[in-house]
Amino acid sequence: MIELREVTKQYRDLVAVNRLSLHVNRGEVFGFLGPNGAGKTTTIKMIAGLMRPTEGSVLVGGIDVAQDPIRAKALMGFIPDRPFLYEKLTGEEFLRFIGGLYRVDGRQLAQRVDELFELFSLRDFRDELIEGYSHGMRQRLVMGAAFLHHPEVVIVDEPMVGLDPQGARLVKSIFRELCARGKTIFMSTHTLGVAEEVCDRIGIIHKGELIALGTKEELQQQAKGGAERLESIFLQLTGGEEMTRVVEYLRS
């Protein structure tokens, strides 16, 4: 459903993503992990059509995002890590506006808006201006907006930031439910517990390169010493040397 072919993104002298190739299947929840500055957000922005690769191509549902962005974007719902919201619109006005952009109209839109407010526990706030929403409420509203048009693919950058445990549980179950309905989720996260719990497969990016790919069990095999927790595997693959240096420094 999502395919990255030899994708490279270069900013002046810095190669943010280097010849990244990846295939995410339909109905799969794919976790994209990596330390800060590894190239996760750049990759996500290239898939969402917000950046163009310097080399290579990104295909969503078989459509090249750079060649035919409108058709590709119509298949996607995008949830950025720091989402923009119109502060002076109410929650309902915002969702209706998004519905208009995705051509969801009339009774279908009204029904969908009701469903989403109910699902994300925002029913009591639908007529309040967004400027009065808490961080978690905003995050839930943005998710609602991304799911409004029943996208085939959902691209999420850091889905759990600012969510309370209840909200986080809700999002996890929604992801699993969508997956069961054949939708594809591509998410980047730092919350390794979420990745471990929700994702079918995980890719780890480090310094712009994909250094590990597979199910949790496959990653365990790739990591030396047979670490069990994803956190240990992640640190071993990406931050082992740095961590050792930090520990040695603290001891000294």
**Residues 167/143, Cβ–Cβ less than 8 Å:** no
The residue among 74 and 211 lying less far from other proteins, judged by its C-beta, is: 74
The 1-40 contact track toward other proteins, x by CB under 8 A, reads ----------xx----------------------------
Question: Which of the stretches 83-91, 117-125, 163-171, 224-232 binds other proteins when contact is defined by CB under 8 A?
Answer: 83-91
Angle, vertex CA 102, rays to CA 194 and CA 80, nearest 5: 30
Q: How far is the CB of 43 from other proteins (least distance, A)?
A: 14
The DSSP secondary-structure symbol of 207 reads: T
3-state secondary structure of 131: helix
Q: Does 45 bind other proteins (CB under 8 A)?
A: yes
3-state secondary structure of 87: coil
The residue among 94 and 234 lying less far from other proteins, judged by its C-beta, is: 94
Among 211, 188, 205, 209, which Cα is nearest to 15's? 209
Q: What is the 3-state secondary structure (H, E, C) of 234-246?
A: HHHHHHHHHHHHH
The residue among 49 and 203 lying less far from other proteins, judged by its C-beta, is: 49
Binding site for other proteins (CB under 8 A): 11-12, 45, 48-52, 69-74, 76, 78, 80, 83-84, 86-90, 93-94, 97-98, 100-103, 105, 129, 132
